[in-house]
Structure 1
Amino acid sequence: MTAGELSRDARQVFMRAALAVKPKPSPAGKPKFLGPPAAVVPFSDWNYYYTRDPLEWHSDTDTNHKVSVPIGFVTDLASIPSAFWTLLPKTASYTYAAIIHDYLYWTQPCSREDADNMLKAVMEELKVAELKIVTIYQGVRFGGEASWTNNAAAKAKGEKRVLKLFPTDMKISWEQWKIEPDVFA
């Protein structure tokens, strides 16, 4: 089943669940997620989404990374091949970790390895099951190089991923919206 074939009920359940996620304090009591849960809105194809709220996370390790995903960032959520969606759907307890990871892969403010390690750290904070963390982490370490390289090439060609205007027609796909003039920040 593709994301476009998800039932309306399944989509509504996802959106309610995404809005219901609450920030969790770190063991030291200091929150790693800053602010309320971020709303994520799909384009019509349900393959791409954009953030309607900022999503901020910081690491309290010695590297002390902070990631601030802006309003309007376009993401495909978890970039998991559709053959594995039964076990690892695009939307699950790791969705916010996937958005942060996508943003790091797009902006490339750190090494790819650091971005992958932050994905793992965010999933751990979100209490994702250990087997899923290991599987997703190993997947991005093994297969993420192409996405990293393709993102750098797309940015170099002028592609943008942060919207300043959001679609008002629910039938608009990302492929249609990204060619509209003046929709990017």
Structure 2
Amino acid sequence: MMRITKRMLLRWSVGVAAVLVSDLESMTRGRLSRTSDAQEPAQPLQNMSIETWMNEWMSVSKAPGGMLRISRFREPIYFLTAPISWTPHPGQERYAAVTVPKGFVTDFASIPRPFWSALRPDGEYAYAAVVHDYLYWTQTRSREEADDILKMAMEDFDVGTLTVGAIYNAVRLGGKGAWNGNTKKKGQGEQRILKRFPQDPRMTWEDWKQRPGVFDQ
């Protein structure tokens, strides 16, 4: 059996990201030809950071189970200001519905980093990514089920088949580190459901989470 090294995994991730960018650019061209008011992204997709992606996306979100409303800390770490949900469709009954509560803090760490700069800032991936991050944090279901729900949530937004497959395969291969990292953080007492939200835009997540009474027990 071939042993997969970190170098091989990195090369694979970059290759998959390149395929994803190509697929997304094709989707963009198709949308531009069909929609008169569509606009090009403000900068090339491959140069877009997760912070820029979220900043551009936050005003144009759409959602099947509640509008995705997000605020952020000074660093690019975000929290829900309203709950969202994912509900299975006919044929998906073996998966229970997911409700992500108001106050959940997400850093999108459950999505492999190469995809942060490749995803379009139009809400198609962000909604599914938050649901996925929540399942990776709570770990009340298996990692496999969390990844399956990510895939189905992306399909709810009619994300291209190649893109869905690329992201799904990436989290199946590379998501264990994020899963284990969350297990460790929870064991150390970290919490992710806020009861109180910061009002100062200069507030950092590292400072806020140290304050008493900010978490929903």
TM range (shorter): 0.7 to 0.9
TM-score when normalising by structure 1:
0.81
| Number of residues of Structure 1 aligned to a counterpart in Structure 2 | 166
Contact residue 77 and residue 90 of structure 1 kept, 8 A: no
* Structure 1 match to 2:24: none
Unaligned 5+ segments in structure 2 are: 1-46
Q: Note closer, same or farther for the CA distance 1:22–1:103 as it changes in structure 2 (3 Å cut).
A: closer
Of all paired residues, the percent bearing the same amino acid is 39
The Cα of 1:112 is off from its aligned counterpart by 0.5
The Cα of 1:65 is off from its aligned counterpart by 1.1
3-state DSSP class of the match of 2:79?
A: strand
TM-score when normalising by structure 2:
0.69
**One of 81, 84, 89 as aligned partner of 1:52:** 81
Output the amino acid matched with 1:96. Y
Q: Note closer, same or farther for the CA distance 1:52–1:77 as it changes in structure 2 (3 Å cut).
A: same
1:39 equivalenced with 2:82 (yes/no): no
- After superposition, the CA RMSD in angstroms is 2.2
Contact residue 44 and residue 171 of structure 1 kept, 8 A: yes
For residues 136 and 121 of structure 2, what CA distance do their matches in structure 1 show? Answer: 17
* Structure 2 match to 1:179: 210
For residues 16 and 139 of structure 1, what CA distance do their matches in structure 2 show? Answer: 28
**Pairing 1:1-185 to 2, within 5 Å after superposition:** 2-3=49-50, 6=52, 11=55, 13-18=56-61, 21-23=62-64, 33=65, 36-46=66-76, 48-60=77-89, 61-77=92-108, 79-81=111-113, 83-88=114-119, 92-185=123-216
Deviations 1:5-57 (A, max 9, x none): x49xx82x422112xx142xxxxxxxxx2xx31201121112x1000001111
Contact residue 43 and residue 174 of structure 1 kept, 8 A: yes
Q: Note closer, same or farther for the CA distance 1:171–1:91 as it changes in structure 2 (3 Å cut).
A: farther
For residues 76 and 98 of structure 1, what CA distance do their matches in structure 2 show? Answer: 10
For residues 104 and 66 of structure 1, what CA distance do their matches in structure 2 show? Answer: 11
Contact residue 77 and residue 91 of structure 1 kept, 8 A: no
3-state DSSP class of the match of 2:86?
A: strand
3-state DSSP class of the match of 2:168?
A: helix
Contact residue 57 and residue 121 of structure 2 kept, 8 A: no
Q: Which region of structure 1 is more displaced relative to structure 2, 89-98 or 139-148? A: 89-98
Q: Rg bigger for which structure?
A: 2
The Cα of 1:88 is off from its aligned counterpart by 2.6
Output the amino acid matched with 1:56. S
For residues 93 and 38 of structure 1, what CA distance do their matches in structure 2 show? Answer: 11
Contact residue 70 and residue 81 of structure 2 kept, 8 A: yes
Greater length-normalized contact order (CA 8 Å, ≥ 6 residues apart): 2
Contact residue 50 and residue 116 of structure 2 kept, 8 A: no
Output the amino acid matched with 1:129. G
